[in-house]
Structure 1
Amino acid sequence: MSAQITEEEFLKLRHDSERRLQTFYDHWPASKDYLNKEEFVRQGFYCVGHGDRVRCTYCRGYLSDWEPNDDILLEHRKHFPKCPFILSPYKFPEFRDFSSRLESFSDWPAQFSQKKEDLAQAGMFYLGKGDQTKCFWCNGILADWEPGDTPILEHRKWFKHCQWLEVIKTEPFFVNAEKASKEKSKDHTCTKDARSKYLLVSFRHTAAQESSSPEQMARQIGFSPDIISKAAKKCGGPFDVETLVKAILDLDEIKTEEVKQTPTEKHLDMKCLKQSLQSFDPSCKICFDSDFNTVFLPCGHLMCCEDCAKTIKICPMCRSTITMAKKVFLQ
């Protein structure tokens, strides 16, 4: 084995302790057999292939020139005190390998949209009950998975100090998940803008006095005085009604029933809303066979097909009670 290996080969060594152990059987000097190969592997090391030089797959640090009385853990801590393994060793060594975690999901319930591979990459193994999973490193439990939940991002959200997250933060699947999350956040902003346009056009269709103040116009749209007051303070100096409405929506405190119903759909500017929907996976988040085409009211979430909507009384996204489900046409 060469000191220079590809990133792909390095990641394989990180996720497979048997592969790391094999490097010691292949390259470790016989004169250094007084050191425990298994202990090197437990701490994430593999044998580089140049003398007694080893490298940690958790912190990427190199160590060599081992002496008979050297303690592997102490040397590791001395030279790389910020290594994730040194800061907080993993709790379940039997699940330290990706393959062992993946195997634990053999009975993972089919109704959950989270893929076994994504859960295993995120450090989780299946507890065999419901949708309960546990991190092999930090011992954190994640359950109650919902459509759209990304395992690695949920792991970071609830257990941000887990050292496994530090180990894998540069791996492609983690980087791609963060990128997708940021894109989704942009789409959410676009949808808010679309709702703002929806409300403003509705008002302009019904308002009797165009000379009203922004606060009066917002009240005519249907917003409560308390929310209008909060948004006005956020706006600061002089502002128009469009700025005020956007500030109200940014507060995330309004409910659908607080807004007056609009006269007809033809007054809604759908351009921004359609743009935000184009980047989403159009498949139903319940059956994954048909495209979503049914919106829940009053929450407004659009995520499943007409057939699946008939079986749901609580919105899977926000947990609010569904009073009505209506088929929509996005083309």
Structure 2
Amino acid sequence: MGPKGRAKCPCCDPEQGPWAASHDPRWEHHRLRCLCGRVLGQDHVDGQILGQLRPLTEEEEAEEAGATLPMGPVFPGMGSEELRLASFYDWPPTAGVQPEALAAAGFFHTGQQDKVRCFFCYGGLQSWECGDDPWTEHAKWFPRCQFLLQSKGRGFVRSVQEAYSPLFGSWDQWEEPEDAAPTAPSAPVHGAPELLTYRGEVQPEGTREPGAEDLQEQLRRLQEERRCKVCLDRATSIVFVPCGHLVCAECAPSLQLCPICRAAIHSRVRTFLS
């Protein structure tokens, strides 16, 4: 404990304070440096990680239940699975996981490569490979996400934590300040199993990961794209052949030319945008 009630972790060096009676040291530590070895349950000796991630014991779970954790979603605008799925409109075709599975597990596409985020805990993952299960990855990297726990239960999260070896990095678990230095992954213990997929990344200079305002704009744009360009009210559900433009079911029957490109309409096909 330092001056003015401030405290510092000897491993990752973040300083926090002043403290209030309602503050939980472990949660504040997790918020400031989610990849700190002490937060992850790892011991540091001469820079080598000796500990391993382990599932919570019953006593720890009971203690965690009393901790002050965020009870609401970080990005409520993506609380609808339908809107999360719509965010994958430019999902890379070579990505190894289907958008439906990611959206069901709480993730939405950020618009950058194959990066996704959970709408509730805002945890981010990337570098997906064929065979990856979004729910399993969610439980592996962000086991305290309340959406995950409510959807799959503590038993599922515990089984995933027990099944996988130590994790030494992730894209990020909680939003870091923009001026925070990138966290490099720790070196694995000699002989320890390799990670199935390393999801760490150092942002190239001049680029930044979209924040909440960018994602709100993306959500607004998605909603605008799905709105009928004729009545500007209802959602599109009819696609014109051959041009491929869409209008709502109420406006489509009266049109002979596409209102967007003025091409002749040969046929109309009902589509379901989930």
Scaled by the length of structure 1, the TM-score of the pair is 0.27
Greater relative CO (CA pairs within 8 A, separation 6+) = 2
For normalisation by structure 2, the TM-score amounts to: 0.32
Structure possessing the higher radius of gyration over alpha carbons: 1
Q: 1 or 2, which has the higher helix percentage?
A: 1
